[in-house]
């Protein structure tokens, strides 16, 4: 029997899954916004050791709440995935029409209001830890209350209690993972300096191998040539790339564990880390070479996009090469003559490879030049698109409009200038029209199709089963929904609206079980963004310029 506290939004029986998915997307969007926006108003000064034990302890706790919670929650889902699925199906059988709760959501809004008021209250803006120790304790308690009510808004309390009761070992492991990640996050700061020096010497070595007369000042970490030099800062150490590739490789090892050969597959983690660090040094050396030839191309073209493109190339290359190696993959006696994944992944791979070259040498013509090779690849793989069921729906247009609104609002504070803008100013009207048409084709048709084939058509189903072709497009799991959306988002320059847009496109696909709905929504969003950029001159809205 359901308790009165679980009563909430009544879900229509005919479209219950889509309705619940929309509510959960809204709750997740709200929670992400809270994590990003709500920060503690306290700004203490002085030595923590002089402020007392409890004040220092509470301050340390609040500093680690957000990163440790995110890590623990993600680890808990991975460690207890079968139990989570069983408890979710159990709750769904008990009360399919009342999974989400309006009452708990109202309570969450009350606690959220208290947190917002706390950030604006002058009484909490004190200069001493000892002076606001009591306020900090109240803040932590209210924060946990807001978190609990948010969880109960998404699923009934009995779900969370039964899941935790059945997953005590997983909970312990998740807690240890969160503590370890938090400790490593602090410890890795110590690695910045050794990696910084190692990158400095590797860049100098690469320049010498190409016969360059190297100009280096180790005391200032300056390396380059007589025509162009750079300073190797902590941001250039490669540590960020190592962290990203290790996270990506960990997700890849887990999701493809049935196909990979262990323990050999664990070697992919250090291989990926070493390769991304080496490619970071190659990137810096290439920046110096290009800067000696054309400083504007180096700084405005290559430098602004090389890190993102190199990470994508390393990630895709790691998965591709490991899937072809007998060392890392279990080889079956009978393998299909044609790989069905090619039709879904090849357009995106061509997009990445072409983008690297264009961003280095012709960033002002990126969207116009990217359309031809990507569309040619899509035509080559047209059997994949033709195999899809196409039934246009007005809800796809609404989903595209929602993604457009989110992206445009998130980009309000970004620069309105882009490399293409000064190029268009000096061209004749016919040439400008042709370039704009190619740009529209690239940003609103070619790239959306390539991304939807890869992230929704392939990855979302691959995270459900290794034989992804047998998975229906309406097969929803939290791992496939979140995994494909996060992978899509981190490939975008603005990753937060990118992840949320990926969720919207996935919801459009799940609603009717048609990949074409996600493609249509993405194309509509791209067309709207291009129209806004053309009307206002804010070409940076397109994100890749």
Q: Which residues of 176-206 are buried (b: 16+ CB within 10 A; e: fewer)?
A: ebbeebbeeeeeeeeebeebbebbbebbbeb
CA distance 421 to 398: 29
The DSSP H or E segment spanning 223 is strand 222-224
Q: Give me the pLDDT at residue 334, please.
A: 44
The count of other CB atoms within 10 Å of the CB of residue 22 is 14
Chunked in runs of 10, what are the mean pLDDT values of the chain (545 residues)? 44 56 79 65 48 54 63 76 85 78 88 77 50 65 86 88 86 75 61 77 82 78 84 77 77 76 80 85 85 73 66 76 75 54 84 70 65 87 87 86 82 52 61 75 87 90 84 88 85 78 91 91 89 72 52
Token pair of 497 as six digits = 């609206």
Q: Give me the pLDDT at residue 523, please.
A: 92
Give first-to-last CA distance, the chain, whole Å.
56
Taking alpha carbons only, the member of 99, 97, 101 closest to residue 109 is 101
Q: Give yes or no for a contact between 363 and 352, defined as CB atoms under 8 angstroms apart.
A: no
Statement: the pTM of the whole predicted model exceeds 0.85: no
**What are the sequence ranges of the domains in the chain?**
17-166, 190-331, 348-545
Q: Give me the pLDDT at residue 13, please.
A: 47
List alpha helices for 155-267, DSSP H.
Answer: 157-166, 168-209, 239-255
């Amino acid at each position: 029997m359901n308790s009165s506290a679980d009563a909430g939004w009544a879900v229509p029986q005919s479209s219950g899954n889509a309705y619940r998915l929309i509510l959960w997307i809204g709750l997740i969007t709200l929670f992400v916004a809270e994590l990003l926006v709500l920060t503690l108003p306290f700004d203490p000064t002085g030595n923590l050791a002089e402020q007392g034990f409890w004040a220092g302890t509470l301050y340390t706790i609040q500093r680690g709440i957000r990163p440790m919670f995110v890590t623990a929650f993600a680890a808990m889902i991975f460690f207890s995935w079968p139990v989570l699925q069983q408890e979710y199906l159990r709750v769904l059988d008990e009360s399919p029409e009342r999974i989400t709760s309006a009452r708990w959501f109202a309570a969450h809004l009350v606690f959220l209001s208290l947190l917002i008021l706390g950030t604006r209250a002058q009484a909490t803006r004190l200069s001493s830890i000892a002076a606001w120790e009591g306020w900090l304790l109240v803040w932590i308690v209210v924060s946990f209350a807001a978190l609990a009510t948010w969880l109960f808004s998404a699923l009934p309390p009995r779900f969370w209690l039964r899941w935790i009761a059945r997953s005590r070992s997983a909970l312990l492991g998740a807690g240890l993972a969160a503590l370890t990640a938090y400790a490593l996050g602090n410890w890795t700061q110590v690695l910045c300096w050794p990696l910084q020096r190692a990158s400095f010497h590797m860049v100098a070595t690469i320049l010498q191998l190409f016969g360059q007369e190297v100009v280096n000042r180790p005391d200032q970490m300056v390396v380059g040539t007589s025509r162009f030099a750079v300073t190797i800062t902590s941001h250039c150490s490669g540590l960020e790339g190592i962290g990203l590739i290790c996270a990506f490789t960990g997700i890849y090892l887990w999701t493809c564990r049935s196909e990979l050969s262990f323990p050999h597959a664990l070697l992919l983690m250090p291989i990926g880390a070493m390769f991304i660090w080496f490619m970071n040094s190659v990137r810096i050396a290439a920046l110096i070479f290009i800067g000696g030839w054309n400083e504007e191309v180096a700084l405005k073209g290559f430098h602004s996009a090389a890190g993102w493109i190199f990470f994508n190339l390393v990630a895709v290359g790691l998965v591709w090469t490991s899937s072809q190696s007998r060392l890392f993959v279990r080889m079956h006696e009978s393998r299909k003559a044609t790989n069905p994944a090619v039709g879904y992944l090849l357009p995106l791979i061509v997009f990445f490879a072409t983008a690297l070259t264009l961003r280095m040498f012709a960033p002002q013509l990126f969207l116009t030049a990217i359309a031809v090779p990507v569309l040619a690849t899509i035509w080559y793989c047209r059997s994949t698109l033709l195999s899809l069921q196409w039934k246009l729906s007005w809800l796809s247009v609404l989903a595209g409009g929602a993604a457009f609104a989110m992206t445009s609002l998130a980009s309000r504070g970004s620069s309105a200038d882009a490399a293409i803008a000064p190029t268009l100013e000096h061209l004749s009207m016919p040439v400008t029209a042709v370039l704009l048409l190619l740009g529209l084709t690239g940003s609103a048709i070619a790239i959306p199709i390539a991304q939807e084939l890869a992230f929704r058509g392939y990855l979302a189903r691959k995270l459900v089963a290794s034989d992804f072709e047998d998975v229906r497009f309406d097969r929803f799991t939290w791992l496939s929904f979140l995994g494909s959306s996060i992978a899509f988002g981190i490939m975008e320059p603005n990753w937060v609206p990118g992840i949320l847009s990926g969720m919207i496109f996935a919801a459009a696909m799940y609603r009717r079980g048609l990949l074409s709905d996600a493609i249509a929504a993405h194309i509509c969003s791209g067309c709207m963004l291009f129209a806004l950029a053309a009307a206002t001159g804010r070409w940076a809205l397109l994100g890749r310029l």
